[in-house]
Structure 1
């Protein structure tokens, strides 16, 4: 009996020891897949992966040396993540390749005394970012009748997977074939003298506050109507903006008010036209001026419209689905992992890319375009550390998502490509960016 008890006791001890060994093995810190690079980079990556703020997060890291065609750091880089505004890197490459040196603001068929006007999706028309308006100047100078043809628009105003309640936020403007004023209403002046641009919306604006010394600082819009209400005020002017609901009739009214002449549509009885004697394009702004703002400000509207402009130019139809399908079968057919790509801006949580996908596109960009062009478009620098001139990258963030992908210039003047994608993190974007910047600083110093 004593012998049995001794065996039983020892077996229980053995089970307990095995249990604690198993438990310990489950709590071992996550390790990167080492690729033979310096321990400094490995240790820096492990420090990022295992920091407290990322203890419950999903993390993917890729650092690639294009000169040696090898990864220096590779942790879950073949896994899919929601990239937020890192999606704009894909859109930026597409626009750089297909939109030429300057944007086509309008296509025109000249039918003797009638001009047929075709929209291109150009977001710069009457936008406050640009001081000149070549399309407006062209239209003002015409003596022929102007007839607007909508073209082949096959999109929705808002994209797949966008949050419906973002409709009032500055970053969620409606997409359209002929944008004007960035498809937003902007309020200027104080309560003693309120001005609204575009003016066509002023009859739908209510402001019950009467203190003429205060400025309107925030406005709201009804969900399904262009009805605006001022609801916050300040002693300093801030010129708040809010997206308006786009319609052909409203846009053409705004444009007609600007050029001081009528613009007809086919519904006005214009069904037959004289023969076309000439066809031409009116260019608006330098393409890279748009892309630089898009990447630096992370402008969702510019990104969405840029992708639609490529679709219009290459497929003669404005459709995210069709141009994305075409690009995935051509330019991006060799992506390491086939992504799920649904919009131009990254507003959608349906987007799924891997860190290796971003490395692939960034490497493709580096091979096909000049370094001066890339660095003039991409933002440089970082939060909390001095990375200006050493990191050229696009950030991406939304709730519980922090991403950064781009190029590193090391202390030894090597150009590396990287992508760090973090999903399901419960910390703030500011803290996460500082953690990522610290990792990049280690790479800069080590290689």
Structure 2
């Protein structure tokens, strides 16, 4: 009886392990896939880390491999996959630059839409600027702005970094001040030159630029090395900064007002950029600013206000109500460590994207091997992998699509949290595993 009992326990344990770890029934060569996955999980740089993996065949509706795929991980910039989905679903084929009402005599009332492309260097065509430049008197409402410059859980001490440009209702110049490599500090746009204090003890070009944490006060201070240029976010929570910048740029009267532009038939929309041109940059460059503004724009279109938390709550109750594990989702970029998603959540969103939008759009928006943030990886697999990377300290993520050697399209998500290893080594190990999956299917 003891022998039979032991056999029963062993058999039960084996069954539980196989169900929890993998379902390789659809694999043409499961031994190789399992061996490669074992190698990934045994990588020295992943020692002590939490790893979640899901590889899914959407045609067979079967997971080819799962490892902790229902557990929560910090997704970092993989969060942008959801922002991309929301933007593609709710923002149409072109961005709404703003809404306005013509009051006559050269006066217009404008309602900003959160469009990040206004006077952004990535977009030489500027229809909103061309329109506003012709106006004599602009009344600017703040009534649809219900957010703050920083997102929940952002690293506040990165506030001077260009990857953490603050959110706003009407971004301008990417919400950045550019300081070029010069022998003396020069700000662009030039409006900020008056807000730059230069330390008189600076010697030659040996200086650096700093900004006060809660104000648009910039300082050039002595440094040991020559200044090489920098882009620093300006403080958007200053309620007057937008009007001031618009007046300085447009050379016209701009007044902040406290009214809501009712969306009656006399309200006109001006479109700015094709949405895919913005989304491609967002996903290839992993642009945090564009991702944040995507959610704000979607909120403005759906609810008449820019409110990230309210928009996310609505999306999770409607379009993404069927996510297998309810995520903790707080921002559009993935800068926040409060975000928590499972690999299965990403598989579900990737499947929705594939089913709801044309593949050629997705292949254009997502980075492929050797391009964008995959520039140093999958160089032998261009057109075979389309994915979004994610990186925060001690966290690595990669989710997207694989085109296998037999022409199958697979969905995958690999999330790593709490590692203390080398990021490059981890990414190479993931690359080796995914290459094996592509070759074996």
TM range (shorter): 0.7 to 0.9
Which of 5, 8, 21 is the equivalent residue of 1:32? 21
Deviation of the 1:67 alpha carbon: 1.1
Q: Which residue of 1 is the match for residue 323 of structure 2?
A: 335
Which of 399, 404, 407 is the equivalent residue of 1:405? 399
| Equivalent position SS for 2:252 | coil
Which of 418, 422, 435 is the equivalent residue of 2:412? 418
Q: Which residue of 2 is the match for residue 118 of structure 1?
A: 111
Q: Which residue of 1 is the match for residue 334 of structure 2?
A: 346
Q: Which residue of 1 is the match for residue 194 of structure 2?
A: 203
* 2:216–2:234 Cα contact (<8 Å) kept: yes
Q: Which residue of 1 is the match for residue 6 of structure 2?
A: none
Deviation of the 1:146 alpha carbon: 1.4
- CA–CA distance in 1 between the matches of 2:166 and 2:341? 25
Q: Which residue of 2 is the match for residue 174 of structure 1?
A: 166
User: Does residue 433 of the first structure (1) align with residue 427 of the second (2)?
Assistant: yes
- CA–CA distance in 2 between the matches of 1:439 and 1:124? 38
Larger Rg, first or second structure (1 or 2): 1
Q: Which aligned pairs between 1:48-447 and structure 2 lie closer than 5 A?
A: 48-113=40-105, 114-143=107-136, 145-192=137-184, 194-208=185-199, 214=205, 218-231=208-221, 232=223, 238-246=228-236, 247-266=238-257, 278-381=266-369, 382=374, 383-385=376-378, 386-447=380-441
- CA–CA distance in 1 between the matches of 2:401 and 2:138? 47
* 2:101–2:267 Cα contact (<8 Å) kept: yes
Q: Which residue of 2 is the match for residue 21 of structure 1?
A: none
TM-score (norm 1): 0.87
Any stretches of 5+ residues in structure 2 without a counterpart? Answer: 1-13
Q: Which residue of 1 is the match for residue 7 of structure 2?
A: none
Q: Which residue of 1 is the match for residue 9 of structure 2?
A: none
Residues 1:206 and 1:387: Cα distance change in structure 2 (over 3 Å): farther
Deviation of the 1:186 alpha carbon: 0.6
Q: Which residue of 1 is the match for residue 8 of structure 2?
A: none
- CA–CA distance in 1 between the matches of 2:264 and 2:91? 25
| Equivalent position SS for 2:163 | coil
* 2:114–2:171 Cα contact (<8 Å) kept: yes
Deviation of the 1:122 alpha carbon: 0.8
- CA–CA distance in 1 between the matches of 2:235 and 2:290? 17
Cα deviation code 1:362-397 (max 9, x no counterpart): 010001111110011101114354222111000001
- CA–CA distance in 2 between the matches of 1:405 and 1:272? 41
- CA–CA distance in 2 between the matches of 1:435 and 1:403? 12
Residues 1:48 and 1:189: Cα distance change in structure 2 (over 3 Å): closer
- CA–CA distance in 2 between the matches of 1:188 and 1:165? 23
Residues 1:178 and 1:433: Cα distance change in structure 2 (over 3 Å): same
- CA–CA distance in 1 between the matches of 2:194 and 2:224? 20
- CA–CA distance in 2 between the matches of 1:233 and 1:262? 44
- CA–CA distance in 2 between the matches of 1:103 and 1:233? 44
Q: Which residue of 1 is the match for residue 10 of structure 2?
A: none
- CA–CA distance in 1 between the matches of 2:341 and 2:381? 26
* 1:167–1:223 Cα contact (<8 Å) kept: yes
| Equivalent position SS for 2:21 | coil
- CA–CA distance in 2 between the matches of 1:321 and 1:186? 30
Pairs aligned (count) = 410
| Equivalent position SS for 1:248 | coil
| Equivalent position SS for 1:361 | helix
Any stretches of 5+ residues in structure 1 without a counterpart? Answer: 1-24
* 2:115–2:170 Cα contact (<8 Å) kept: yes
* 1:62–1:77 Cα contact (<8 Å) kept: yes
- CA–CA distance in 2 between the matches of 1:196 and 1:258? 14
- CA–CA distance in 2 between the matches of 1:295 and 1:138? 29
- CA–CA distance in 2 between the matches of 1:132 and 1:102? 13
- CA–CA distance in 2 between the matches of 1:147 and 1:348? 34
- CA–CA distance in 1 between the matches of 2:123 and 2:104? 32
Deviation of the 1:253 alpha carbon: 1.2
| Equivalent position SS for 2:243 | helix
